[in-house]
Chains A and B, each alone.
Chain A
Amino acid sequence: MSLKGKAWKFGDSISTDHIAPGRYFHLRTNLPELAKHVLEDADEDFAAGMEPGDFVVAGRNFGLGSSREHAPRIIKLAGTSAVLAQSFARIFFRNAINVGLPVLEVDTSGIEPGDQLEVDLQAGEVRNITQGETLTFAPLPPVMVKILGDGGLVEHFKKYGDFNL
């Protein structure tokens, strides 16, 4: 699977409060509406300006904080292809896989805002078309590849009726 889009650059320690702010708690049962505010507290132009296929590119410990699964869900719902970060917080990482959002640990330091990227999930490569560089990332653990490949945990259960990892 190949994903294409441009980079939206974020810093270190982007928390679930940046992604899905608590003041929109009442919108958690209305994900399309909540998605209009995705990452609002980190970059207020992101939700309105991003185009389907674009990438969220961040620094260390992306998604730290709350267990709210709404965070990866609205990143995905907004049309983001994948999140690339130096590292991820544990619960966010797991939630992202469960909802079918690719999350890639890769050295993002050289990626500039607006760079055109192409990601090949199987090959484990991020091609920076703007800069003419290729970055590689370590493959996901097999259990996560399986869940992501099935389209998330709910789809996995629809397919097998149980854990089949």
Chain B
Amino acid sequence: MASTLAEKIIAEHVGREVEPGEIVVTGVDVTALQDGTGPLALQQLEELDMVRAVNPGKTILFMDHAAPSPRKELSNAHQVLRSFARATGAVASDINEGVCHQRLVESYASPGDILIGADSHTCTSGALAAFATGMGSTDVAIGIATGKTWIKVPETLRVVVSGGFARGVYAKDLMLHLIGEIGADGATYMALEFTGPAVERMTMSERFTLANMAVEAGGKTGLFASDDTTRAYLEEQGRGEAYRRLGPDQDADYALTMEIDLEGLEPTVSAPHTVDNTMNVAAAAGKQVQQVFIGTCTNGRIEDLRIAASILRGRKRHPHTRLIVTPASRSVYLQAAEEGLLKDFVEAGAIVTGTGCGACVGVHGGVLGDGEVCVATQNRNFHGRMGNVKGFIYLASPATAAATAIAGEIVDPREGYLESQG
């Protein structure tokens, strides 16, 4: 039987062919918790008297949502994670290391893996041809202690992308556009599989942005076949040996195939308060903005910071618009420092924060005031998301976000902002 990429990875793990809809108990290769979901998971293991990690080197406890901790309760939560790591040999990824999904792709996820993480954007690692999906604390706890989980083999929605991005249009615009087309529940229970000539040309950074937001369409994971781009990325991370070529069979059976031509794709935003409330940036242009946030597991990579810095270099943020820049990991931070990007940001009037998730998830470091509007490069604009139910969040690409910070209102980055000033 010809298999989709999701079916192929699951079949390899269970040692037989699988069909969409069937439920299998499978081994897992990588498990991850973060500081919001981790303490509850470890509490379940204590209750079960199963405080152990069967694969400690691939069990990672991330301290990223509250990094550094703004409250004693969260400092105590961090202590719980560190103490489990000491007791079991699991990896504690402390507050300086970075956002879990960025760290997973840099150092842990490999083609062909099954990866479960107690964070919904675990699907990001799907870009490395890993079946990576978000689950709750208890599911991941069981995965840590037993090396197993159960999975309903998903149907696959294939997204075939052709053409090339116009100047000023990026992977983020494509993903927002796609979610707007199929809706926030358009891929519920399904795996997304991205393919086509445009996907083959995409950088890993672009693929991570797409995979990251699969869950915003309800998807279980967002998969890409591995290829020379994947190999080069893993080699850059010092993990060349993790590479293997993995893709779907040619005549695999897809529940649905969507075709998207990048020609004509415009810079796109998601307006409050749902991710599928998308529109061309022109339709939102002129909206006054009090805060711009560039970072996160969606768009906080070095490629994203380069795009933002190229727009901000030699320009100043609008006096009424705060600008927060958060590199997605320690290595992104270091690279941005080496390239002088942090200087560009600070000179433009930004605050560059340490790595972490705090602003996006409304924990700390960028909470909105009543009635304030934020343009953010993150993946969610739900009611209350950035810590205030009276805030308004527009999702956008790093280019749209950077241009907006200069203009003080939502603008199309192609209106003069892509031309370098510095």
Residues on A lying within 8 angstroms of B by beta carbon are 13, 15, 17-18, 21-23, 25-30, 41, 60-61, 64-70, 73, 87, 89-91, 94-95, 98-99, 141, 143, 152-154, 157-158, 162-163, 165
Contact = CB atoms under 8 A, between A and B. Distances in A.
A19 to B, nearest CB: 10
B295 interface: no
A3 B163 CA distance: 55
Nearest to A162: B146
Contacts of A70: 40
B48 A154 contact: yes
B150 A165 contact: yes
B48 A64 contact: no
A22 B274 contact: no
Given A25-B363, A89-B188, A67 B25 contact: no
B23 A64 contact: no
Interface of B: 23, 25, 36-37, 39-40, 44, 47-48, 50, 65-66, 71, 73-74, 76-77, 80, 117-120, 122, 134-139, 142, 146, 148, 150, 152, 184-185, 188-189, 215, 218, 220, 274, 361-363, 367, 380, 382-389
Task: Specify the main secondary structure of chain B where it touches its partner.
Answer: loop
A21 B362 contact: yes
B218 A64 contact: yes
Contact of A165 (B25, B36, B74): B25
Contact of A23 (B48, B137, B185, B362): B362
A27 to B, nearest CB: 7
Contacts of B380: 15, 17, 65
Contact of B384 (A17, A60, A99, A162): A17
B73 A90 contact: no
A99 to B, nearest CB: 7
A126 to B, nearest CB: 22
20 contacts: A17-B385, A21-B384, A22-B387, A23-B384, A25-B362, A26-B71, A27-B73, A28-B36, A41-B384, A61-B185, A64-B185, A66-B120, A67-B37, A67-B120, A70-B40, A89-B185, A89-B218, A91-B120, A163-B146, A165-B23
